[in-house]
A and B are shown apart, each in its own frame.
Chain A
Amino acid sequence: MIRRRLFNLAATAALAGLALSGAAQAAEVIKLGAIAPKTGPLAGGAVVTQWPNIQLWVEQVNARGGLDVGGTQMMIELIEYDDKTNPGEHIKLAQRLAEQDQVDFVVAPYGTGFNIAAAPIYGRYGYPMIAVSAITDKMDELTERYPNLFFTLGTTTAFVDGVKEILVEQREAGAIGNEIAMVNVADAFGIELADRARELFTEAGFELVYDKSYPLGTPDLSPVMKGAKDSGAKAFVAWSYPPDSFGLAEQAIIEDLDVSVYYSAVATSFPAFGDAYGGKINNVLGAGGTNVDDPAIAAYRAAHLDVTGKVADYWASANTYAALQILEQAIEGAGTKDKETVTQYIKDNSFDTVMGTLTFENNVSHTFWSVGQWQDGVFRGVKGTGVEGAVPVRLKDGWVE
Chain B
Amino acid sequence: MTETDRPETTPTDAVDSALESLSDDGLEGYNYAYLDEHTKREVRRSILKAIAVPGHQVPYASRPMPLARGWGTGGIQASLSILGPEDTFKVIDQGADESVNAANIRRLATETAGVETTTDTTDADVIQTRHRIPEEVVTDDQILVLQVPITDALRTVDSSDAANRRRHAHKNYGKMWVHLYENVVEWGEINIAARYPTMVAGRYLMDPSPIPRWDVPKLDDADALFVFAAGREARIYAVPPHTAVEPLAFEDRSFQVERFPDQACDVCGSTDTYLTEVDDASESAGSTGSRGGIDGSGGSRGGIDDDGGSDAAETETGSDAGDDGRRYVCNDTSFCHKRRSNPDLPRDHHLDRDDVDWGPGTTAADRGGEST
Chains A and B come from one and the same complex: no
- List the interface of chain B (C-beta within 8 A of A): none
- List the interface of chain A (C-beta within 8 A of B): none
